[in-house]
């Protein structure tokens, strides 16, 4: 991704996610994290202790805003809806790489594509590889995108995914289990450290 595009990502409030290194996360680890998540208390229970997973915890782990309520978003713009309806992750990846950002119109389109991409690829992944209504909702109010409580939005999706995994015996798990992994690693590496020695947010960068 070009430097101008990276600057736009930071402007949108997702700069912390650029610290995510390429990795092949074992499915077994993600399964154990899902099984260790206490749905009744929203706690991650591990052999190193327990940590309450709040919207702020998700925000701190991933460098996302988690300070206000995630507002209801308008779905009136049918042109935008048709523009992105049915897009796959590959479609969005190709568009992110190919679109220019040399004028305001293209910058706005890039922002919308990126918001859809980061939700599908990372924050709100689902087993269906197409843009869904839950992914589309935020792009209708791009002027308020930095105000959204993404920590709460991601946590709600994690809880829903783990609930379906346990109660409906789904083989796969929707939701950003990577966030739980970052929280788990932060807990295991810093359990016995003094406060001043514990790295600050975003935890994903450490």
Give residue limits of the domains in the chain. Answer: 3-205
Mean pLDDT of the chain: 85
On the question of pLDDT at 36 being above 80, the answer is yes
Structural tokens at position 70: 């995630």
* Rounded average pLDDT over 144-153: 86
* Rounded average pLDDT over 49-69: 81
Structural tokens at position 87: 């897009």
Q: What is the per-residue pLDDT for 124?
A: 87
3-class DSSP state for residue 25? coil
* Rounded average pLDDT over 138-145: 82
Q: What is the per-residue pLDDT for 192?
A: 83
On the question of pLDDT at 134 being above 60, the answer is yes
Q: Report whether 49 contacts 191 (CB < 8 A).
A: yes
49-52 vs 37-38, strand pairing mode? unpaired
Q: What is the per-residue pLDDT for 70?
A: 39
Portion of the chain with pLDDT greater than 90, in percent: 31
Q: What is the per-residue pLDDT for 22?
A: 65
Q: Which has the minimum average pLDDT: 11-25, 42-56, 141-155, 179-193?
A: 11-25
Q: What is the per-residue pLDDT for 196?
A: 87
Alpha-carbon gap, residue 39 to 166, rounded angstroms: 10
At residue 176's C-alpha, the angle toward residues 120 and 154, to 5°, is: 85
On the question of pLDDT at 14 being above 70, the answer is yes
Q: Report whether 201 contacts 16 (CB < 8 A).
A: yes
User: What ranges in the chain are assigned the alpha helix state H?
Assistant: 3-12, 27-36, 55-62, 78-84, 89-98, 104-118, 133-136, 150-167, 177-190
| Prior bond of 100 cis (ω within 30°) | no
Reported as a single tens digit per residue, the pLDDT across 178-198 is 899 999 888 888 888 888 898
Q: Report whether 121 contacts 154 (CB < 8 A).
A: no
Q: What is the per-residue pLDDT for 77?
A: 66
Report residue 52: phi and psi, to 5°. -75, 125
Q: pTM of the full predicted structure?
A: 0.75
Q: What is the DSSP string of 158-177?
A: HHHHHHHHHHS--SS--S-H
Alpha-carbon gap, residue 174 to 156, rounded angstroms: 11
Residue recorded with tokens 């935890």: 203
Q: What is the per-residue pLDDT for 24?
A: 67
């Amino acid at each position: 991704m070009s430097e101008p595009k990276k600057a736009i990502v930071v402007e949108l409030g997702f700069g912390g996610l650029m610290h995510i290194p390429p990795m092949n996360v074992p499915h077994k680890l993600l399964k154990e994290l899902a099984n260790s998540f206490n749905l009744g208390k929203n706690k991650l229970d591990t052999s190193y202790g327990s940590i309450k997973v709040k919207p702020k915890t998700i925000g701190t782990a991933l460098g996302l805003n988690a300070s206000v309520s995630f507002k209801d978003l308008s779905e009136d713009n049918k042109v935008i809806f048709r523009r992105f309806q049915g897009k796959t992750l590959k479609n969005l990846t190709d568009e992110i790489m190919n679109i220019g950002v040399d004028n305001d119109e293209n910058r706005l389109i890039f922002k919308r594509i990126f918001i859809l991409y980061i939700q599908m690829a990372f924050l709100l992944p689902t087993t269906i590889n197409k843009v869904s209504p839950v992914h589309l909702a935020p792009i209708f109010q791009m002027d308020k995108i930095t105000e959204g409580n993404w920590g709460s939005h991601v946590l709600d999706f994690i809880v829903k995914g783990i609930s379906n995994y346990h109660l409906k015996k789904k083989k796969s798990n929707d939701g950003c289990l990577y966030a739980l992994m970052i929280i788990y690693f932060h807990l295991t590496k810093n359990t016995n450290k003094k406060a001043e020695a514990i790295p600050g947010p975003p935890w994903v960068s450490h």
